[in-house]
Every structure is written in structure tokens, then in C-alpha cells.
Chain A
Amino acid sequence: MKRNYGAYLLVLPVILYYIIFAYKPMYGAIIAFKDFSPGRGILGSHWAGNYGFEHFISFFNSYFFGRTLKNTLVISLSSLLFSFPAPIILALLLNEVKNKFFKRAVQTISYMPHFISLVVVCSLIKLFTADTGIVTYFLSMFGYDSGAMLSHPDLFVPVYVLSGIWQHVGWDSIIYLAALSGIDQSLYEAAKIDGANRWKQMIYITLPGISITIVILFILAIGGIMNVGYEKIILLYNPGIYETSDVISSFVYRKGLLESNWSFSAAVGLFNSVINFFMVVVFNKLSKKISGISLW
């Protein structure tokens, strides 16, 4: 300890950050087991019925429990299926591009949506998918003719996932590009001498070279599987498509902030977090067994 006090000093701000912004707020989670009333404060509020589990029980019994859970899983699994490989593919493609100017241009353009405020992005998505929007117009050439896309429950998930790829693919590819640049160039030279073509080089050198990055990011993504961000959902949905678009976090938002049912929404949020945590642990174990790569 004494010998390394400099290092401890350096890490101190980070520890403080977690204590202040991560551990201390966790104490507020007890309102999930209480009937929180702002006038009485967190400690002064009465405990909820059923040994404190009243709000959890009423969530599980809610008419919308099954649906929000299903939507959350559908949206995040399809995001995982389609959004997760997209930046890897983009990075691999960019890696093969030899023209520097073209490469930079593609990168810059694909980053752009990431820097636009989500509110603006969602207005754009709504405009593009309105009955006179550009995407709708394009689809109409293939026979689509049922008006605004966001008024059809079936189309919400595709719109959500595809627009998500458009938003993030450029930005998310950065980390893979970084990993790619770390691959030893002499491996490629050796492969060329052995007569490997570009495709073979990619399969046998590039992909194995970034596989650790891919697995780590995949485990982290699994941890967020129940975390469909409520911001984009509430900016895009409307009552007509709740059926496929209402997820746990948007449900929490409506309950907690719009109906000031704080304890109930805290209970739902806590339930969500516990599942997330469980998923991370399970997949970390699995990955360790299968590939030997793990977070801890």
C-alpha cells in the first residue's frame, strides 16, 4: 500500500465516482419495497404490503407484464442478431479498402448519425417513414402501400432495428478497426507467400485476430439484453403500436414519471436489473467454458 500510494491516489477519483454515482443511489432502490411518498422521504415511507413485495406482485399480475417482457426480448434479441454483426462487417470491409480518401469519407459519413441528438434522429425517422416519407416512397416501388410505417405494429421492430444500425454502425466499428490495426502485418505477408487469397486471409487471420474483442463485446451486449433504452422507444411509439413497441423501460417511464408511481416503477426497474445481471453471469460462464475468454 505504502509503496504504491501514487497508484492508489490515481485510482481514487474512479472509486469515488462509483461510490457517489453507483453505490449511494442503490440505497434508493429500497423504495421498490416501500410505498414511497416524497413528503416522508425514502426512510420515512411505509413498507409496501406482502412483506414489501406488493409492487413486484402487482407487476407480475399486470395485464401488460407478459407483453412488455416479450417485446423487450424480441427487440433486444433482434438488435443483437442484426446490429451486433453490422459494425464488424463494416470494419472488415473498410479494412480491405485501399483508397485512403474513400475510406475516410465512408467513416466520417457513417459516424455522423451518432453525433445527432436522439430527439432529432427520431424526428427524422418519423419523417422518413410517414406516408409521404422517402423510405415509404422507396418501399412503395415494391408494392408497399399502407401509409405511415410507424402506425403498423408489425413494422415497428424492423424500423427500430434498421434505424439503430444506421445510427450506430459507424461509431461501433471504431473499436473493431482499432483491434484490426493491432494485427501483426507480417502474418498477412506470410499468408500471401503461402498463397492465401483475400478471403482466406480474412477468415484465418483477421477474424481470429479480433475474436477476443468480439467475444468481450458480445458478453457486454448480453448484459444489456433487457435494457432496451426507453428514450428511442418513447420518441417513436404511439398507442396504436404499443402491442409491439411497449417495453419494460418505457413501461417504467410511463408508470414512474407520468403517473408518479415511483415505487412500482422502481420495482420493475430492479427486476430488470436483476435479470440483466443474471444474464451477464451466465454468459460469462459459458464463454469461459467454450472459448476461455471472460470478463472475470
Chain B
Amino acid sequence: MKKSSNRRKVAALMVTLAMMTSLLAGCSGKETTSDSNSSNLPSQTPAAQNGQQNEVSSTESTEITYPLQTDETLTIALGYESQISASYENFGDTPYAKALQEKTGVKLEFQVFADSNALNLMFASGELPDIILWGATGYQGGAQKAIDDGIIYPLNDLIDTNSPDLVKTLNTDKDYLKGSMTANGDYIGFPFIKGDLMLRSTSGLIIRDDWVKELGIEIPQTAEDFYQMLKLFKEKKGATVPFSTTSFWVDQLLDSGLITSAFGLPKATSYQKDGKVQFGFAQPEFKAALEYLNKLYTEGLLDPNYSTLDNDTMNANMMNGQSGVTVGALNGGIGNFIRTMKDKGKFSVAGISSLVANSGDKPMAGYYEFPITGLFATISPSCKNKELAAQFLNYAYTEEGSLLNNFGIEGESYTMVDNKPVFTDMITNNPEGLTMQLALAPYARSWSSGWFVQDVEYLKQYAALPQQQAALQAWSNHDGSKFVIPPVSINTDDASEYATIMSDINTYVDEMITKYIMGVEPLSTFDTDYIPTLNNMNINRAVEILQAALDEFNSRQ
């Protein structure tokens, strides 16, 4: 008898150990929050905050005067940025954060989450800061699901009285308003808005145009020209990996159509054509694009290590002449290359448009973002003073707040010249030799993102190099805006089905793209194996769900 009870004890212990080691998600242990939070769920208690609301609306209903009179502290969580940590240990120590608190009169406590894993862990823990700046529409199941899950408190009962400037901003453009709401008509939060077309196409293909000139060829337009150029780079310019890139950027170049455009496909991901939703990776045209990339790969033109390469190596390849083509952004790419290589011999880069089938064509698509990017500063259901949070966040959409976010602090990072903000020398020509991005990072948010309307004036000065201006022209020369799917919201019933289908499909497609490019899997299986598998994985149902969401979005007034 005694022996068997001992056995049971040990057995119990073993179960525990075995479970402990693999229960990744089960270890929240924050069950205490469940009761207090559930009463805060928006759907259940719209009246909970009414008492306070009346107080605020009586002081001011159409305009809010800053600084606000309060001694409360708000907690804000935002993503980690190496550009900030390069010079400041805490986000709260930056001149921007100090100015924001001074101007709004609200004391802030900043929390920085390292990446989306950390953010998801924070969600799972149930302990949320008052305000979170994050890609709310990218939440699994969409923003509506995040509201239902108790992560976002919708602004509907706050927005009119507490955020008049946000309302004004959203009313200036139909897309702004539509993009900031869910299918149920809930306001998600305070959006990051790209206020001008030029701001929406800031990445693309980058080539060594000095090499092109020396070789006596034209800047490539077609896929064939591009291929010939890469070959020449390899043969004549000693580029060991002519086209250097990382898996992140390969995804980007496929998703934005930089190469697929030449094969009659606007994007490798979801897009709309004449109002019909399609997935690029399931179209017959995609095969041709993959064949092309596979050719580049097998001939040693595309980086053989791309699937394991990191950004630093990619940039180094470009700057030490091992590569002549890459994919990159306006400042992190072109600006970075030119400033670093300024006094180091002959080096010049240029941005080129997406590839086309026949020279002279206008590229189908390129890098393009919807003006409402999906990034929002959202208020948490657990926030004690939601009115204050809404009033505080509203500041960024005032004229003064826009200046702070786009240009920083007057007299330090910018000065007013003829009533126009102009970056000071400290930003454009930093005495300590910092790049513009690093110099501006502690003072403003325009270089990255936040909750405000990004002003095109900033970009004109920020990307002031002639090469950057030329690249902007080249990269925005396409019809990508026709194909982009706006931040639609999938209704709650379908959300988890869509998420389940797409999760498997994305894993499978990611894998197959890599295999096809590397030639591990022959492209002959594209029609016989790949497409049937996608059908088996129920891609048609995913199209159907996304189509319904798009129709709903288009029907919004």
C-alpha cells in the first residue's frame, strides 16, 4: 500500500515536470485580473464611465486647451527602436518624451516592448498599460477581435468630446475615417496616418548606378534588362553576390510587386483587382516570377545565403562592392549608403522602379501603403481615466502637436523660416557625425511612426539628397494604389476561421517560395502539387471571407 502511494506521488511529479517544460502559453497565472477586467469589457458596461465624462464635457466640448490640468500619470507602451536606444537608455529621457509631457501637462510612464512576441505576452498576461502603440489591425482575427478580447477600448463614447482634433483629421479624408473603424463601427484608436502619396512608397529596388554608367548600359526597366545587368555586375565589376538581400526583403519585394509586376502580377500577397480579392501566390503568373528568381539564384546572381542573412551583412555587401543591387528604404537604405560612403571613393546608388514586361510600360505595382497603416495608439479597457487618455492622445493632431511629432522641438531640432519649419544643422549635418535618422530620433517621431499625421514637408527635408528625391520619384511611379487592400475588418464570426486557414497557408507558402527560389523543389510541381495543396487548405474560403470584408469596407459611408 505504502509503496503504491509513493509511486503515485512520483508519478504526479513527473506529470508536472513534463507539462511544465512544454506549456509555453499556459503559464499566465494572472487569473486575478479576469474578474476586474471582465466588468470593463466595453460591450457590457457602456455606462461605467459616464460620471466622469460629464465633468469633462462641461469644461470644453469643441476645443481642448493644453496643457491639461491634471496630476495623473498615464502609462504608454511602444515598440523598441534601436535608433532611440543608441543614445538614450529610456524613452522617457528623450527630448521628445519630455516635451510631450510638458506640452500636454500629463505625466507619462513609458514601457518598451521588444517585439510582437513581447507584446503578445503582455496581452496574455492581462495587465495592460493605459495606452499601447501597436499594429492593431494586424491582431490575429483583426481589430474587432482585439476589442472583443478586451485589449482595446473603442473610442466611440470618447471621441466627440475628448478628441475634437482627431475627428477633424479623420473627416478630411474618407479613407482615414473608414480605415480607423471596424465593421461594427467601433473606432479603433488614434491612427498613424501617412498624410501624402509620397510618404507611402518609401522602399524599393536600389542599384549601383555608377556601375551602370561605367558599363555603358541603361538603367534597367524590364526583367530581362535587370538580369543582364546583374550578369554584367558579376562578370565585369567583380560583384560576388550581385543581388544581396535578406529573407525579410525578399518577402517585401514579392509582397510589393517589385519583381512580380514584370510578370503581370501586382503582388504576391492578397490584392484586389476590379473589386475582386485575389491571392498573388495562388495565381498562375506567380510561377513565372518564381522561375525568374530561381534563375537568378541558380546562376549565383541572387545572394545564396539570403535565407539566413541579416541586414548588417547585406548593407556591408553593398558598401564593399560585393553587391550592386539590393532592396531597401529611403533613409535606412539609400541615405545610409551615400552618407557612409561619402568620402570613400567612387560610390553611387539610385532607386529604380518596379520591373516591367516591356520597356516603357508603367509598372503595375510597387511598395505602397494605405494611408492608415494599421498602427494605432489604443486605449486599454483597464485605463482608469479614459477621458484624460483621449485628450492627451488628441494633442498629436493639433497644429502644435503635429510640429512636435514631425519636426521636434523649436530652437533645437527645427527653426521657423518664413512660417515653415526647417530642420536645424544639428539634424541635417550633425556635428557628431550622426546620421539624420539617429540625430532626429530623440526629437521627433516622423522618422519612424507614432500617432499623428506624417507631414510630407518632413520627408522633403529629411530625404533631401538628390538621389533620395529621385528614388522617391522612381519608387512611386506605379499603380500600386489600385491593387492595395485597405485595412478591412473581418467580422467576428469568420475571424478565427480566416486566421486558422491563413496561418497554415502562410507557413506553407513561405516554405514553398523559399524552396522554389532555391531550386530545392522543381517548379514543375507548381501546377501539379502546390496549387492543389492550396486548394486543399481551403484558400477559396479565405478569399470568400476577405471578399466579404472588402465589400463591407467599400460600402461604408
A contact residues vs B (CB 8 Å cutoff): 18, 21-29, 31-32, 35-44, 58, 62-64, 126, 130-131, 147-148, 150-153, 223-224, 226-227, 230, 238-240, 242-243, 246, 249, 252-263, 265-266, 269-270, 272-273, 276-277, 280-281, 295-296
Q: A21-B20, A126-B308 are in contact. Are A38 and B149 (CB under 8 A)?
A: yes
Residues of B within 8 A of A40 (CB): 34, 37-38, 41, 149-150
Beta-carbon contact of A223 and B18 below 8 Å = yes
> Residue of A at shortest CB range from B116?
A258
Q: A39-B126, A39-B150, A43-B31 are in contact. Are A269 and B117 (CB under 8 A)?
A: no
A58 to B140, CA, bound (A): 17
Chain A CB within 8 A of B417 CB: no
Beta-carbon contact of B381 and A257 below 8 Å = no
Min CB gap B4→A, angstroms: 10
- Interface SS, B side: helix
Closest 6 CB pairs of A and B: A39-B150, A41-B34, A240-B514, A239-B510, A28-B26, A296-B10
Min CB gap A21→B, angstroms: 7
- Interface SS, A side: helix
Beta-carbon contact of B26 and A148 below 8 Å = no
Q: A260-B140, A296-B10 are in contact. Are A42 and B28 (CB under 8 A)?
A: yes
Beta-carbon contact of B25 and A265 below 8 Å = yes
Min CB gap A76→B, angstroms: 13
A-contacting 9-mer, from B180-188, B419-427, B438-446, B497-505: B497-505
Min CB gap A265→B, angstroms: 5
Residues of A within 8 A of B22 (CB): 226-227, 249, 252, 269-270, 272-273, 276
Q: A41-B34, A257-B120 are in contact. Are A266 and B25 (CB under 8 A)?
A: yes
Beta-carbon contact of A28 and B23 below 8 Å = yes
A280 to B14, CA, bound (A): 8
B contact residues vs A (CB 8 Å cutoff): 6-7, 10-11, 13-31, 33-35, 37-38, 40-41, 116-117, 120-121, 123-126, 139-140, 148-151, 247, 304-305, 307-308, 381, 496, 499-500, 503-504, 507-508, 510-511, 513-515, 518, 520, 533, 536-537
Beta-carbon contact of B19 and A38 below 8 Å = no
Q: List 20 A-B contacts (CB under 8 A).
A: A21-B20, A26-B19, A38-B125, A38-B150, A39-B151, A40-B150, A41-B30, A44-B34, A63-B533, A130-B305, A147-B304, A148-B307, A223-B14, A249-B24, A252-B24, A252-B25, A265-B24, A269-B25, A273-B21, A281-B11
Pick the contact of A238: B21, B40, B307 (CB < 8 A): B307
Pick the contact of A242: B18, B40, B124, B507 (CB < 8 A): B507
Beta-carbon contact of A44 and B149 below 8 Å = no
Beta-carbon contact of B117 and A63 below 8 Å = no
> Residue of B at shortest CB range from A148?
B305
Given contacts A39-B150, A64-B507, A227-B21, 19 further A-B pairs with CB under 8 A are A32-B26, A39-B40, A44-B34, A131-B304, A131-B305, A150-B308, A151-B518, A153-B520, A224-B21, A230-B24, A252-B22, A258-B116, A259-B499, A260-B139, A269-B19, A269-B23, A281-B11, A295-B10, A296-B6
Pick the contact of B150: A37, A42, A240, A246 (CB < 8 A): A37
Beta-carbon contact of B308 and A148 below 8 Å = yes
A260 to B124, CA, bound (A): 8
A269 to B27, CA, bound (A): 12
Min CB gap B26→A, angstroms: 4
A266 to B19, CA, bound (A): 10
